Structure 1
């Protein structure tokens, strides 16, 4: 019989006794050690396993014995079928090829290892770990926290406390940031996969030669049964005359500067621009934000933009809305920026320090060979995917920033797991972002889940809004820090929470409670009736829920 006609059998198992994914991985490893077992996949959530085996080397009852002889696991049902399999690995070099090396790629590799899949990961561009650990979440948030420490050393919300200031060793700040990046890259990425039996990692540029073949550095060719595109994104650079010539920074290069800049002009007032502005202003840098729309955080309702802008400006951050940069020129004293206001007025100013571009992201799709194999892009240039992360070519998946989905590190990992489960474990879980929580790490922080009142209005949903100032929350009064508000949007007829927005110091710590309330359909009246600990910011959720039906200013402490 020819190699492509070798007949194997499959054993479909129902397995009891598993309590976690580690149990499934343990059973897989036991099965894969047996002579004649060609493939084993065990899934903890469903309690099922699939074993592909050579009946000439191992019998079905021996497979069952491997599991039944363990202390905890048992096979409750086994069905045997015939599989006509091509050559090893179904005719491919790998079951799964992952292009990328960030959060989505590693989440996919971890799930693939649990399923016993021979996997190849190919990374290019940023070091292993991708945007989050190298140039995104980790460096930005540690700089934000460093800047916060400096701010509180110079400022107090209590009249009786007189801070003495802070000496900032800026080069040390950057070196400490880099040390944290390197530590987490090693601990949370490389160490995690170092003992994987089925994973190979390569460095190089990968492109699709056909829908199952990947070429690396135009030298090596690998075939894969399924392919996951997880190439991430990079800063989008606007096409403004002179921008490239004068030299600009992005979050990738700004965080590497060991010499503190005198000043920064930040182009863009989205979450990246606002976070950078907050951190670097508190580290002693003069900050100007220019934004071509009418306000910062244009994706949010105006009250959020106005609240945050007020506090940023109080710390000395200049905000220029409705200013579109038209031309940049390098002068002896710095960078000359010429822009225009909506009424046609032009204005020119000099930036003695650096220009930072924070105008959004674009997907890393160039050079991947997507057009040649028929992988389609969405209107924003990211890869179009369905609810199972499949592209227009069903055995090619995409996850993370490169896909047309929310660009967060935690959604990237979530999407990759969904993709691998769908591709290899029969998973039918679809992405669901209806109760996705998010946080912007300014100070005060901005956090949200679900829809806001503008979105509810657009959808024609009857809604009501409760907006509670932090001046009504005892914890904020005790802390002498009443910046911000909590806003709840509920369905006027069902009392279900449609969404929430929080502007508050550490406001991000509140949003998961509201996300869970939405997920498990807890009525707003039930939130108002719950016992929240007194003198916590979380109590503000209860008060905001009460405010739909009561005047909280007329309630005593802890009253409901």
Structure 2
């Protein structure tokens, strides 16, 4: 391949949150940028992830609130009919198309970088990597750049279970395309995707059973798992714990899914009209020819990067899910901006996850920031913890929904707060407040003495802090 001057300063493979953040920052720095996308512009979040799933969750919650209002609020009478899934999906697609245009496609023209459609793969050598692009019509071109960013995201992953690949099982992506609400649904998994999808379809009218290997939200506090177990039981979602799939098949007469699982030492059979496998995601790195240019990958295909996001090749970087790091779109976006700063300003910045908020959009939601009790102890911190039931939070009482809690994990010696977890309405906003509390190094005593507006969920953090030294059951509704 003939040597030539660099065509671009930055070549980006992918067009999701991380790709756009990097392209925007690099363009602002006056760099020449090209973006290569083989499918639909916008990546997972806007097309098949955050936007469509949360839009459907909001619709399902609206239906659930209407069904639940009479029991929660005497004097209110409401009713609902069957869900028109086709119309609901159509309206969600319209929302996705609008956001894809406004927040992605239109920005390309505003910032002025080059967008090319096609499959990209590395060629050349580790010292002089290039990208070969194959367009949909078969035309081939070569891109040379000073730096390359791989931001190809991740895709749903399913375990190797006998018979599973021969069935028409759903993933978090294909579940967003259903034209009707399944009469019954088996959900395999207990993480955030499984939790959200299980409640979504239950609230739309499906009879839902979850098969969970350990417990719900196993990476979070055990109190969160217990709280969500109670919520799901109230909503008719059957959770089977310590269940491991052993085989999957389709009933030839009814087209029902038949799942056999090892449960508590024995075998149990489960049947449903649909099966949703939500057991995690894997990095999309296959076909990029990363070995050719000296880029190392992990066991799950993730690109191994330093804290600066540079790969084993100093000219090739990675951002977002393809790194195997936390799978949040705001992580991908932060990666993209940081990568551009490091590549073009030699900033030497590292990714710092110490105060990363984590939100599962169930209702009530699960949100956390910082360390769990277990993680703090593993880190050698002698912890002191308090768990505040929402019955002591006036906003929750007024909402007639006290399902959940707020937990604070603090260093016993200094009182410094190192973790906050909440299950409750607007728990994500509590986690956002927690980010600032942890980043500022605030203590339990400090938070307990600060202002907090009455009748907000955020007030619960202050009350939880007060519970370290005060019997909050003996406080007046708004007394310090």
Q: Secondary structure at the match of 1:296?
A: coil
- Aligned residue number for residue 102 of structure 1: 16
- Aligned residue number for residue 388 of structure 1: 308
- Aligned residue number for residue 336 of structure 1: 258
Instruction: Decide whether the 8 Å contact of 2:405 with 2:424 is kept in 1.
Output: yes
What is the Cα deviation at residue 485 of structure 1? 0.2
Residues 446-457 of structure 1 aligned to structure 2 (within 5 Å): 446-457=366-377
Distance between the aligned counterparts of 2:7 and 2:455, measured in 1? Answer: 60
Q: Secondary structure at the match of 1:180?
A: helix
Return the structure number with greater relative CO, CA threshold 8 A, min gap 6. Answer: 2
What is the Cα deviation at residue 167 of structure 1? 4.8
- Aligned residue number for residue 202 of structure 2: 281
Residues 76-95 of structure 1 aligned to structure 2 (within 5 Å): 91-95=5-9
Instruction: Decide whether the 8 Å contact of 1:147 with 1:283 is kept in 2.
Output: yes
Task: Select 2:133's aligned residue among 208, 212, 216.
Answer: 216
- Aligned residue number for residue 363 of structure 2: 443
Determine if the alignment matches structure 1 residue 122 to structure 2 residue 42: no
TM, length-normalised to structure 1: 0.81
What is the Cα deviation at residue 558 of structure 1? 2.0
Distance between the aligned counterparts of 2:270 and 2:406, measured in 1? Answer: 38
What is the Cα deviation at residue 291 of structure 1? 1.6
Instruction: Decide whether the 8 Å contact of 1:171 with 1:260 is kept in 2.
Output: no
Distance between the aligned counterparts of 1:261 and 1:233, measured in 2? Answer: 26
Distance between the aligned counterparts of 1:144 and 1:514, measured in 2? Answer: 24
Q: Which aligned runs of 4 or more in structure 1 are off by greater than 4 angstroms? A: none
Aligned residues: 467
- Aligned residue number for residue 94 of structure 2: 179
What is the Cα deviation at residue 380 of structure 1? 4.4
Distance between the aligned counterparts of 1:273 and 1:261, measured in 2? Answer: 16
- Per mean C-alpha deviation after superposition, the further-off stretch among 517-526 and 467-476 is 517-526
What is the Cα deviation at residue 342 of structure 1? 4.1
Deviations 1:91-116 (A, max 9, x none): 21111110111111111111111011
Residues 452-491 of structure 1 aligned to structure 2 (within 5 Å): 452-491=372-411
Instruction: Decide whether the 8 Å contact of 1:150 with 1:166 is kept in 2.
Output: no
Residues 126-525 of structure 1 aligned to structure 2 (within 5 Å): 127-156=40-69, 157-197=72-112, 199-210=113-124, 211=126, 212-217=129-134, 219-293=140-214, 295-331=215-251, 332-333=253-254, 334-343=256-265, 345-351=266-272, 353-525=273-445
What is the Cα deviation at residue 428 of structure 1? 2.8
Instruction: Decide whether the 8 Å contact of 1:475 with 1:535 is kept in 2.
Output: yes
- Per mean C-alpha deviation after superposition, the further-off stretch among 302-311 and 443-452 is 302-311
Deviations 1:461-494 (A, max 9, x none): 1111011000011111111110100001111112
Structure ID, larger Rg = 1
What is the Cα deviation at residue 445 of structure 1? 0.4
Deviations 1:419-461 (A, max 9, x none): 0111012223321110111210001100000001000111111
Distance between the aligned counterparts of 2:246 and 2:123, measured in 1? Answer: 41
Task: Select 2:448's aligned residue among 514, 517, 528.
Answer: 528
Distance between the aligned counterparts of 1:235 and 1:404, measured in 2? Answer: 13
Q: Secondary structure at the match of 1:155?
A: helix
Deviations 1:288-315 (A, max 9, x none): 111222x111112222111101111110
What is the Cα deviation at residue 177 of structure 1? 0.6
What is the Cα deviation at residue 166 of structure 1? 4.3
Instruction: Decide whether the 8 Å contact of 1:385 with 1:404 is kept in 2.
Output: no
Q: Secondary structure at the match of 2:247?
A: strand
What is the Cα deviation at residue 522 of structure 1? 2.0
What is the Cα deviation at residue 371 of structure 1? 1.6
Instruction: Decide whether the 8 Å contact of 1:153 with 1:166 is kept in 2.
Output: no
What is the Cα deviation at residue 162 of structure 1? 3.0
Please list every run of 5 or more consecutive structure 2 residues that lacks an aligned counterpart in the other structure: none
- Aligned residue number for residue 7 of structure 1: none
Distance between the aligned counterparts of 1:291 and 1:153, measured in 2? Answer: 29
- Per mean C-alpha deviation after superposition, the further-off stretch among 446-455 and 112-121 is 112-121
Distance between the aligned counterparts of 1:511 and 1:375, measured in 2? Answer: 36
Instruction: Decide whether the 8 Å contact of 1:275 with 1:442 is kept in 2.
Output: yes
